[in-house]
Amino acid sequence: MVIRRVLAPRIDFGALRRELSLPEGFPAAAQKEADEAAAAPPRPPVDRTDVPFVTVDPATSRDLDQAMHLARRPGGGYRVRYAIADVAAHVDPGGALEAETWRRGQTIYLPDGHVPLHPLTLSEGAASLLPDDDRAAVVWTIDLDADGGTVAVELERALVRSRAKLDYTGVQAAADAGRLPEPIALLPEIGDRLTARGLHRGAINLPLPEQDVEPDGDGWRLVLRGPVPMEEHNAQISLLTGMAAADIMLAGRIGLLRTMPAPKPEAVQRLRAAAAPLGVHWPDDAGPGEVIAGLDAAQPRAAAFIDQAAELMRGAAYTAFDGTVPEQPEHGGVAAAYAHVTAPLRRLADRYATEVCLALHAGRPVPDWVRAALPRLPEVMATTDRTASAASRGAVELAEAVLLAHRVGETFDAAVLDVDAPPNGRSRPRPPGGTVALDAPPVRARCLGELPLGERVRVRLVTADPAARTVLFELA
């Protein structure tokens, strides 16, 4: 659901690309390997083209990693089939293309075009699960009981054919009208069960609206949108698969997990202390995730509480292991062991984690080229995660500064999302302030002054500098 959008003028993102040293094209050898792989696509021996898979992605996406088909099981429960693009079948170990994907780590998204992990002949062509074409995939078949608990997992390389490319907005409209396509008609039902199981075990989801910059004719739109329910249901299928993958790797004592420490008790206590002043009811027997799930993020006090809850989600990392299971294998936000395996077109780690799962599930040794890669992946993914975050954040900050550059001195309505912690005696003192979210345009920025957390205020724009990508307000 789009909450707010405002037109911004022409913006040049070239300086941001140069600042982040983003590559402009693929080396000739890597491109050649990709083109050759696209011209002779793999044909897995198992044929699942009779299963009517569909994809659900943003409307403009063409790098389609996942396709799904959902059905009821005879006797009760559900069968989730999740087809993931078989990228490893297109990329030769030790080749120029593999080396280039290690340099990139993941796809970087910018408003004026993305920097793909793989050449477009693969990522938006022969390896993408585009509709009406046969594609090599890794198919996860996960059987669930009536409450959404996993009872069986199967994994295989197979040929699949997507029947339709669906998008979140259209799928949500179809769900609201009670006309979801048959392959995903059960998605709300299964999604609700998986969400409930997650909240019961202590999972935490932060439903913060996302800022984005989109093309609009000769200019750009600065957009603030919250996730639609069907997007959350879709994410639950990916989480389900990632947890199944983690279980396989932990049982086999080798793999690559996405880990994060559980929220520290003192952080939970600080959040609980912030609940009452912000008008948030926190029952004694409820966990943070259950409290957050009942809030409306569009309300200023709820948004401030959710912003405070982000402090619970610190320390995410990739953890490789071989022979010895990590002391802390879980992801605190998922409240379970979890691995990235569902986006190999866009994320390097998924390719190798998937190969570990395929080998272990089949009772085969993990290939040497995969085993050798595992200990090197955490550093590569951490580095490129920082680049991806800097690209996303920098694009929004630039758009905000351009949008407001001619409005310095004006006042705006805003909600206070965060307030600086008081100085602890060890840090350098700075003027009091915090973070505010404007009603319009949809800007989130630093504001100086004694700010009341979770309240509505009037703020004055002090600085909007596109060159420095900075915006600053003060309490009016």
- pLDDT tens digit sequence for 168-182: 999 999 999 999 999
CA dihedral over 319, 313, 209, 207, signed as positive or negative: positive
Q: What is the mean pLDDT of residues 245-266?
A: 97
Q: Lowest-confidence range among 216-220, 330-334, 408-412, 424-428?
A: 424-428
Has residue 71 got a pLDDT over 50?
yes
Has residue 424 got a pLDDT over 80?
no
Task: Assign domain 407-475 to its CATH architecture.
Answer: Beta Barrel (2.40)
Which band of pLDDT confidence, cut at 50, 70 and 90, is reported for residue 227?
confident
Q: Kindly report the number of other CB atoms within 10 A of residue 311's CB atom.
A: 15
User: Which residue ranges make up each domain of the chain?
Assistant: 13-263+313-399, 265-310, 407-475
Largest CA distance in the chain: 68
26-37 pLDDT, tens per residue?
999 999 999 999
- The Cα–Cα gap between 175 and 228 comes to 11
Q: What pLDDT sits at residue 18?
A: 94
Q: Kindly report the number of other CB atoms within 10 A of residue 394's CB atom.
A: 18
- The Cα–Cα gap between 292 and 290 comes to 6
Q: What pLDDT sits at residue 1?
A: 44
Q: What is the mean pLDDT of residues 297-310?
A: 86
Which band of pLDDT confidence, cut at 50, 70 and 90, is reported for residue 7?
low
Q: What pLDDT sits at residue 216?
A: 80
**Residues of the chain above pLDDT 70, percent:** 97
Which band of pLDDT confidence, cut at 50, 70 and 90, is reported for residue 6?
low
* 163: three-class secondary structure by DSSP: strand
* 284: three-class secondary structure by DSSP: coil
pTM: 0.93
427-448 pLDDT, tens per residue?
667 789 999 999 888 899 999 9
Task: Check residues 222 and 377 and name the one with the higher pLDDT.
Answer: 377
Which one-letter amino acid corresponds to residue 367? P
142-161 pLDDT, tens per residue?
999 999 999 999 999 999 99
Q: What pLDDT sits at residue 11?
A: 85
Q: What pLDDT sits at residue 219?
A: 79
Has residue 2 got a pLDDT over 60?
no
Average pLDDT, the chain: 93
Has residue 209 got a pLDDT over 80?
no
- The Cα–Cα gap between 211 and 219 comes to 17
* Residue 66 bridge partners (DSSP): 84
Has residue 5 got a pLDDT over 60?
no
Q: Are 139 and 158 in contact, with CB atoms under 8 Å apart?
A: yes
Measured CA to CA in angstroms, residue 241 lies from 87, 289, 360, 364, 397 at distances of: 17, 21, 15, 21, 34
* Residue 80 bridge partners (DSSP): 70, 142
235-247 pLDDT, tens per residue?
999 999 999 999 9
- The structure tokens 């780590």 sit at 105
- The structure tokens 């550059």 sit at 405
Measured CA to CA in angstroms, residue 377 lies from 40, 263, 351 at distances of: 29, 25, 11
- Please tell me which of 3-17, 212-226, 278-292 the model is most confident about, judged by mean pLDDT: 278-292
Has residue 202 got a pLDDT over 70?
yes
- The Cα–Cα gap between 29 and 242 comes to 33
Q: What pLDDT sits at residue 8?
A: 58
